[in-house]
């Protein structure tokens, strides 16, 4: 049990070190910043889903479309920018390749 506790203590110390480095690099995480990071992540996920559908099926599937439509309007607008008329759709770029 003593060895396990010592291991947990080492892991916790390392976690605190990593947290301090991240805090120094990115600063504190207020509610607004957290919400923006989360919105960006959902937008990126929707774009990747659509990109995968385009690569595999040649069109955006119903699941990806339903997911895109479930996003809040401002986030949805960011995703839809990839599909506006006149925009050359690059599914490889959409999935991060």
Q: What is the pLDDT of residues 17-42, one digit of tens each?
A: 999 998 888 777 788 888 888 999 99
Element (H, E) at 43: helix 31-57
How many other CB atoms are found less than 10 A from the CB of residue 32? 8
3: in domain = no
Asked if residue 1 belongs to a domain, the reply is no
Domain assignment present for 13: no
Is residue 58 in a domain? yes
Kindly tell me if the per-residue pLDDT of 44 is higher than 80.
yes
CA atoms within 13 A on the CB side of 44: 8
pLDDT tens digit string along 56-75?
998 889 999 999 999 999 99
pTM (2 d.p.) = 0.66
Owning domain of residue 73: 29-94
* Number of DSSP helices (H) and strands (E) in the chain, helices first: 5, 0
Q: Of all residues in the chain, what percent carry a pLDDT higher than 70?
A: 100
Number of domains in the chain: 1
Is 88 inside a domain boundary? yes
Mean pLDDT computed over every residue of the chain: 88
Domain assignment present for 71:
yes
With a cut of 90, say whether residue 7 has pLDDT above it. yes
Q: Which of 64, 36, 40 is nearest to 50 (CA)?
A: 64
């Amino acid at each position: 049990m003593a060895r396990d506790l010592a291991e947990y203590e080492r892991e916790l110390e390392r976690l605190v070190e990593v947290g301090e480095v991240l805090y120094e690099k990115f600063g504190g995480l207020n509610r607004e910043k957290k919400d923006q990071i989360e919105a960006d992540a959902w937008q990126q996920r929707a774009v990747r889903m659509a990109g995968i559908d385009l690569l595999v099926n040649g069109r955006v599937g119903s699941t990806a479309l339903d997911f895109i439509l479930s996003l809040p309007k401002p986030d949805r607008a960011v995703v839809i920018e990839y599909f506006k008329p006149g925009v050359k759709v690059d599914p490889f770029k959409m999935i991060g390749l």
